[in-house]
């Protein structure tokens, strides 16, 4: 743990708020280096990440199978809070992980599925094929990736799914402007 | 040019996905960190936060039972024992404007959208180490200053003045987070 520079807090009081400033508690871990320093922690980390890449296919298969299992549970038990949450969580994990694992199209399809789960007024009324097609597409992208011709096809498949999903969501939310705004809004997260 | 002595930093990583924890651990160790504690849910992370007193928290948002947003809110409790000032980096697949705003209003210091990259993570860590922001305490908020830039061109209502102030009625943070868009 860093040796914290725990100087006195400086607190300025205003009518409705306080501004609290403290000496930088982590200043002791900052080190000035010369311009000729060749150490590159980011390159080192990227190399270490590449070293993990042999496991990515297996990890991606596990994530895709988890998604399929969540969908199978919904087909068996229906849409409950628990079954929907597990489907969303499985899709959301793929949305976040897939590009890192080398499957960006699977991530895009999972993102589209997350949007359906988040913004459909009633999941029971979503055409069952729409959800099933997303899951089948993710499985296909993951398991057929080694074929050279699938990379562009996977991207095309994800774009098609997203288009159909957005068309459905736009129509289903035509009387719910706050959802429409969220559906149509671009991502504003800082880039990586 | 500045470098961080990662071997002097203690991290707490909270993510329910074991693959993402493995990736984070790999990246942090590669940066030079030695002390990386991990939890798979917010409740355990809060216990570990009190026990290990990490310098930096990296948390996912969506987790079962007790999520990353609630973890941030529990850490940002100035009246409780412990350190309410630790930098919190939220690493999440959520990247919609509303989500970013809700995370900011829960006291999150930095927001990093997945997919993760070594460069993105390093930059967020460098930012919280080298450029800590003052904390603001109001009736409804305790956390890093949400104003990252000062603008002379701002013409909206001034909500931080010494005299008469405009009081904004806000729903609780948890309500905001859970309200469907």
Rounded CA gap, B55 and A15, in Å? 32
Across the interface, whether the CB atoms of A97 and B19 are under 8 A apart is answered yes
Nearest residue in chain A measured CA to CA from B135: A20
> Does the CB of A38 have a partner CB in chain B at under 8 Å?
no
B146 to chain A, minimum CA–CA distance in Å? Answer: 12
> Does the CB of A82 have a partner CB in chain B at under 8 Å?
no
Three-state DSSP class for B14? strand
pLDDT value of position A147: 55
Across the interface, whether the CB atoms of B9 and A189 are under 8 A apart is answered no
- Strands A30-32 and B35-39, sheet pairing: unpaired
Beta bridge partners of A19: A12, B136
> Does the CB of A48 have a partner CB in chain B at under 8 Å?
yes
**pTM for the predicted model, two decimal places:** 0.87
Per-residue pLDDT, averaged over A99-122, amounts to 94
| A159: its two tokens | 């774009």
pLDDT value of position B170: 38
Most confident of A8-17, A65-74, A176-185: A65-74
B127 or A33, greater pLDDT: B127
- Strands B56-59 and A18-21, sheet pairing: unpaired
Closest CA to B129 of B15, B39, B19, B31: B31
Enumerate residues 6+ apart whose C-beta is below 8 A from B127: B110
Across the interface, whether the CB atoms of B97 and A188 are under 8 A apart is answered yes
Q: What is the mean pLDDT of each run of 10 residues along chain B (181 residues)?
A: 91 97 98 97 95 96 90 91 92 87 95 94 95 92 85 68 42 44 44
Beta bridge partners of A12: A19
Interface test with B, best of A96, A110, A114 (most B CBs within 10 A): A96
What is the percent of chain A with per-residue pLDDT over 70, rounded to a whole number? 91
Rounded CA gap, A112 and A107, in Å? 9
- What domains does chain A contain, in order, with CATH numbers? 56-184 (1.20.120)
B153 to chain A, minimum CA–CA distance in Å? Answer: 22
User: Among partner residues B23, B94, B136, which is closest to A19 by beta-carbon distance?
Assistant: B136
pLDDT value of position A168: 93
Nearest residue in chain B measured CA to CA from A17: B138
Which residues in chain B touch residue A182, judged by CB atoms under 8 angstroms apart? 96, 98, 181
Supply the mean pLDDT for chain A. 88
Which residues in chain B touch residue A93, judged by CB atoms under 8 angstroms apart? 17, 20, 93
Closest CA to B59 of B137, B130, B46, B102: B46
Contacts 24+ apart (CB under 8 A), A140-143: A141/A103, A141/A105, A141/A106, A141/A109, A142/A60, A142/A61, A142/A64, A142/A103, A142/A106, A143/A61, A143/A64
**Banded model confidence at residue A14, pLDDT cuts 50, 70, 90:** confident
Rounded CA gap, A89 and A67, in Å? 9
pLDDT value of position A146: 60
| Per-residue CA distances from A127 to A18, A27, A73, A122, A123 (Å) | 52, 56, 17, 11, 9
Per-residue pLDDT, averaged over A113-134, amounts to 95
Residue B97's H or E segment, with its range, is helix B97-105
pLDDT value of position B3: 87
pLDDT value of position B67: 93
B32 or A183, greater pLDDT: B32
ipTM comes to 0.87
Which residues in chain B touch residue A118, judged by CB atoms under 8 angstroms apart? 180-181
Q: Which residues numbered 86-145 in A keep a CB inside 8 Å of some CB on B?
A: 88-89, 92-93, 95-101, 104, 107, 111, 114, 118-119
DSSP 8-state symbol, A19: E
- Strands B135-137 and A18-21, sheet pairing: antiparallel
């Amino acid at each position: 743990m860093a040796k914290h520079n725990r100087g006195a807090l400086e607190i300025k009081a205003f009518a409705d708020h306080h501004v609290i400033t403290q000496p930088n508690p982590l200043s002791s871990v900052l080190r000035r280096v010369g311009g000729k320093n060749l150490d590159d922690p980011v390159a080192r980390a990227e190399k270490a990440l590449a070293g993990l890449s042999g496991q990515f296919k297996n990890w991606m298969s596990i994530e895709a199978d988890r998604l399929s299992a969540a969908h199978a549970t919904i087909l068996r038990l229906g849409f409950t809070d628990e079954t929907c949450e597990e489907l969303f969580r499985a899709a959301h994990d793929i949305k976040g992980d897939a590009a890192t694992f080398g499957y960006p199209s699977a991530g895009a399809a999972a993102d589209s599925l997350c949007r359906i789960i988040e913004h459909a007024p009633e999941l029971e009324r979503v055409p069952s094929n729409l959800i099933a097609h997303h899951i089948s597409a993710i499985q296909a992208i993951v398991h057929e990736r080694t074929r050279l011709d699938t990379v562009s096809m996977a991207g095309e498949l994800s774009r098609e799914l997203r288009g159909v999903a957005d068309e459905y969501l736009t129509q289903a939310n035509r009387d719910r402007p706050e959802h429409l705004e969220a559906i149509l809004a671009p991502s504003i997260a800082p880039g990586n | 040019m500045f470098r961080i002595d990662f071997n002097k930093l203690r991290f707490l990583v909270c993510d329910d996905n074991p693959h993402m924890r493995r990736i984070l651990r790999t990246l942090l160790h590669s940066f030079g960190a030695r002390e990386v504690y991990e939890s798979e849910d917010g409740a355990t992370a809060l216990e570990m936060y009190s026990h290990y007193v990490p310098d930096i928290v990296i948390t996912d948002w969506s987790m079962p039972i007790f999520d990353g947003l609630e973890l941030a809110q529990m850490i940002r409790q100035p009246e409780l024992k412990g350190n309410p000032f630790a930098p919190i980096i939220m690493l999440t697949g959520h990247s919609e404007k509303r989500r970013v705003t809700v995370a900011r209003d829960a006291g999150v210091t930095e927001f990093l959208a997945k997919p993760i990259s070594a460069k993105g993570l390093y930059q967020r860590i460098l930012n919280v180490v080298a450029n800590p922001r003052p904390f603001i305490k109001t009736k409804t908020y305790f956390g890093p200053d949400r104003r990252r830039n000062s603008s002379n061109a701002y013409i909206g209502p001034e909500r931080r003045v010494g005299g008469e102030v405009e009081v904004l009625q806000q729903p609780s943070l948890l309500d905001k987070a859970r309200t469907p868009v």
